[in-house]
Amino acid sequence: MTGRFSDAARRAVYEAIHRRRDLREGYTGEPLAHDTLARLLLAAHHAASVGFMQPWNFVLIRGAELREALWKAVDKERRSAAVIFEGEQAERFPAIKIEAIREASLVICVTVDPTRRGPHVLGRSSDEDTDLYSTACAVQNLWLAARAEGLGMGWVTFYRKPDVRRLLELPPHINPIGLICLGPVAAFPDQPVLEQLGWGNRIPLGDLVYYERWGHAEPEPDGPWKGFPEAVRGAAFRSEGEP
């Protein structure tokens, strides 16, 4: 398979992308088979990384006591964050769930080591944040592979990093960018959970596209982008069986 995938294979990739959800509850807790989890981590490890830096580590967590301590750290931060929101958002806030930390099959703390591969990393001299981008790509790979395996995943960022460093004995320079909850779930909702909760709506794609320069929301009438805004408005993911 060197070029374009078959129609069925292309469809599968889009299915994973469009059906991926960030799930914070509904986990069954059933343990994952070792080979499934190893395959998922290998998928994460095959993300792009700037200068082939591979700055990630995966701390795999199943112990109940440690997870309870992580849950407390997350709950503390959730309650702290709740104070910040006001009005309508404050009323909706308590619906945001964090039970996955306790209930998922496992929690993976994904970390970034900014010192990986020494002081000078190709492409990172221009943008120090590239270690973060690379690791986020690894998480997205993990997410899509998990979706294909029928496993739910949630990326929790509600914590103070010093709390997570203390609980997981991370060195001070190691940056925990997420507590990833992973495992079988009862169901995958059709919509993102925050959309269901009324926390926000998806922005129309066309509002996010500019032509040649920032703010140019309409292309030149007779240039190469002619007809593209219509293509953007018409773009939609249709699942198997839908018209």
> 80 vs 15, 74, 75, 84, CA distance in Å?
36, 10, 8, 8
Query: Using the rule CB under 8 A, is 63 a contact of a copy of itself?
Result: yes
Residue 178 pairs in a beta bridge with 110
Query: Contacts with a copy of itself in 183-202 (CB under 8 A)?
Result: 187-188, 192, 194-195, 199-202
Query: Using the rule CB under 8 A, is 218 a contact of a copy of itself?
Result: no
Least gap, CB of 129 to a copy of itself (angstroms): 6
Query: Contacts with a copy of itself in 9-28 (CB under 8 A)?
Result: 9-20, 22
Number of residues that bind a copy of itself (CB under 8 A): 125
**Nearest of 196, 208, 214, 201 to residue 232 by alpha carbon:** 208
**Cα torsion at 155, 179, 151, 103 (round to 10°)?**
-110
Contacts of 137 (CB under 8 A, 6+ apart): 47, 48, 49
Least gap, CB of 123 to a copy of itself (angstroms): 5
Query: Using the rule CB under 8 A, is 91 a contact of a copy of itself?
Result: no
Of the residues 70, 100, 145, 180, which one makes contact with a copy of itself according to CB under 8 A: 145
Q: Are 195 and 161 in contact (CB under 8 A)?
A: no
Least gap, CB of 179 to a copy of itself (angstroms): 11
Of the residues 68, 115, 125, 218, which one makes contact with a copy of itself according to CB under 8 A: 125
Amino acid at site 144: L
Query: Using the rule CB under 8 A, is 161 a contact of a copy of itself?
Result: yes
Query: Using the rule CB under 8 A, is 95 a contact of a copy of itself?
Result: no
